């Protein structure tokens, strides 16, 4: 192709950032920019190269920039709050007090670290498997708990008789924050990576956080002389930074749009489909997803359990496999919807089983039946059989619809345990 500048020999681009053309003119090949900005020849270009993943924005999810903006704001606010809490902790262990001993301060610090280590182990044991499936919820929980821990550290010096107990409790909270925050950050990085570039995204996230902490350090150098021996100003600034921290965290978590199903997102999309046959997009479902840890009583769903948690007798086993040729079994025991999974089950089978479990859970939640146990148990199995019939009619159109709407159905974030059960299709 020939232009005013000569014959175009080739074109090249660097993602969406730079565009170049090679021309032949008067027997010489020339290279010229065709729009875009240089990555390395401007301040903005250098900044992007240092702090954003390679190939941005094509190499990350669409919600990356908005999430990182609010994450930066919350990290800055948390850094300033942490400075106030650290000053209070140092004052509490005796820094500046001539009567305080090094041994007493060391013992207090060791007790705080020791209880924190135990808290880290126990939390990872009890909730580690929830941090992938409910990353947004536990991310926000970690930040709220972090603010509570820092508030306790600020108040601790004013209760000298309980100082050690307060800082040890705060240490436990902070250890939980470390586990939940680090694990959920990793889960969100997996979501943001679009070119198997999780390490690059994680590294650049670390660079961004380091820059924010450096800015927080500089501001803290100005704040410390002002708040020293001024508890009212200390608390006022702490509440201001905490409010900013919580608001930014809420906005950051809300900005994340995950295309994979967890229990909450699948339940939201399924209930909408059963009401009016409309498939919610990932954006719509994520905006409705609850992001606060809920303590209200609901009908829990247990996935990947052993057989005895689904059926307790030969009669119940016959009821569970009745008209069922799928590689999973459902049952309702002790107020829980339980699902056994066969070893040959696919991801689509997992999604279908979860759809049935969600349906059963929603049917049981408002139920306050006072029927005798035998009748109630029979009605439960009738509900299970009805859920199979419902999925026989609706699941395939539902699955096609969610795939067309942009959901990733090749993998899920459903909280399956590791039990796999094989059973005979006939028991007598």
Angstrom distance (rounded) from CA 340 to CA 307? 6
Write the pLDDT tens digit of every residue in 16-30.
777 888 888 777 888
Which range among 34-38, 280-284, 405-409 shows the weakest confidence by mean pLDDT?
34-38
Report all structural domains of the chain as residue ranges with CATH numbers, in order of start. Answer: 2-51 (no CATH), 64-255 (1.20.1250), 263-404 (no CATH)
Write the pLDDT tens digit of every residue in 99-121.
545 666 677 778 888 888 998 89
Residue pair 177/146 in contact (Cβ under 8 Å)? The answer is: yes
Q: Enter the tokens of residue 62.
A: 């669409």
Instruction: Identify the pLDDT of residue 111.
Output: 83
pTM of the model: 0.84
SS (H, E, C) 73-100: HHHHHHHHHHHHHHHHHHHHCCCCCCCC
DSSP codes of every residue in 240-294: HHHHHHHHHHHHHHHH----S--HHHHHHHHHHHHHHSPPPPHHHHHHHS--S--
Angstrom distance (rounded) from CA 57 to CA 206? 18
Instruction: Identify the pLDDT of residue 95.
Output: 52
Percentage helix, strand, coil for the chain under 3-state DSSP, each rounded to 5: 60, 10, 30
Hunting for tokens 């990290």 — which residue is that?
A: 75
Write the pLDDT tens digit of every residue in 370-383.
444 544 544 888 99
Which residues sit opposite 127 in a β-bridge? none
Residue pair 255/291 in contact (Cβ under 8 Å)? The answer is: no
Instruction: Identify the pLDDT of residue 384.
Output: 92
DSSP state of 16: T
């Amino acid at each position: 192709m020939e232009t005013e500048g000569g014959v175009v020999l080739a074109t090249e681009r660097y993602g969406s950032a730079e565009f170049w053309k090679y021309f032949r003119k008067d027997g010489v090949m020339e290279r010229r920019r065709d729009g875009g900005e240089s990555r390395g020849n401007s301040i903005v270009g250098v900044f992007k190269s240092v702090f954003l993943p390679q190939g941005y924005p094509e190499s990350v999810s669409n919600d990356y920039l908005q999430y990182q903006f609010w994450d930066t704001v919350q990290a800055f606010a948390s850094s300033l709050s942490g400075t106030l809490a650290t000053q209070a902790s140092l004052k509490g262990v005796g820094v500046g007090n001539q009567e305080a001993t090094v041994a007493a301060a060391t013992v207090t610090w060791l007790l705080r670290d020791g209880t924190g280590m135990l808290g880290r182990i126990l939390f990872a044991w009890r909730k580690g498997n929830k941090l992938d499936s409910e990353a947004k919820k536990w991310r926000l929980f970690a930040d709220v708990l972090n603010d509570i821990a820092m508030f306790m550290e600020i108040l601790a010096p004013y209760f000298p008789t309980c100082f050690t107990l307060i800082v040890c409790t705060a240490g436990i909270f902070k250890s939980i924050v470390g586990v939940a925050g680090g694990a959920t950050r990793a889960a969100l990085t997996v979501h943001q990576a679009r070119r198997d570039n999780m390490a690059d995204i994680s590294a650049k996230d670390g660079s961004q956080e380091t820059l924010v902490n450096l800015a927080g350090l500089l501001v803290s150098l100005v704040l410390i002389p002002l708040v020293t021996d001024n508890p009212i100003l200390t608390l006022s600034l702490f509440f201001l930074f905490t409010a900013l921290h919580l608001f930014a965290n809420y906005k950051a978590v809300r900005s994340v749009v995950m295309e994979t199903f967890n229990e909450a997102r699948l339940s939201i999309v399924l209930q909408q489909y059963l009401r009016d046959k409309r498939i919610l997009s990932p954006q719509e479902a994520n905006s409705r997803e609850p992001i606060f840890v809920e303590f209200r009583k609901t009908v829990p769903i247990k996935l990947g359990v052993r057989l005895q948690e689904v059926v307790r007798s030969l009669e119940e086993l016959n009821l569970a496999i009745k008209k069922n040729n799928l590689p999973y079994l459902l049952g309702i025991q002790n107020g829980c919807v339980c699902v056994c999974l066969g070893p040959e089950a696919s991801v689509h089978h997992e999604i279908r089983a979860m759809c049935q479990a969600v349906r059963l859970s929603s049917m049981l939640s408002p139920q306050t039946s006072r029927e005798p146990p035998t009748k109630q148990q029979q009605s439960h199995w009738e509900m299970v059989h009805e859920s199979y019939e419902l999925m026989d009619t609706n699941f395939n159109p539902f699955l096609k619809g969610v795939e067309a709407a942009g959901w990733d159905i090749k993998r899920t974030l459903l909280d399956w345990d590791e039990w796999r059960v094989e059973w005979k299709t006939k028991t007598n």
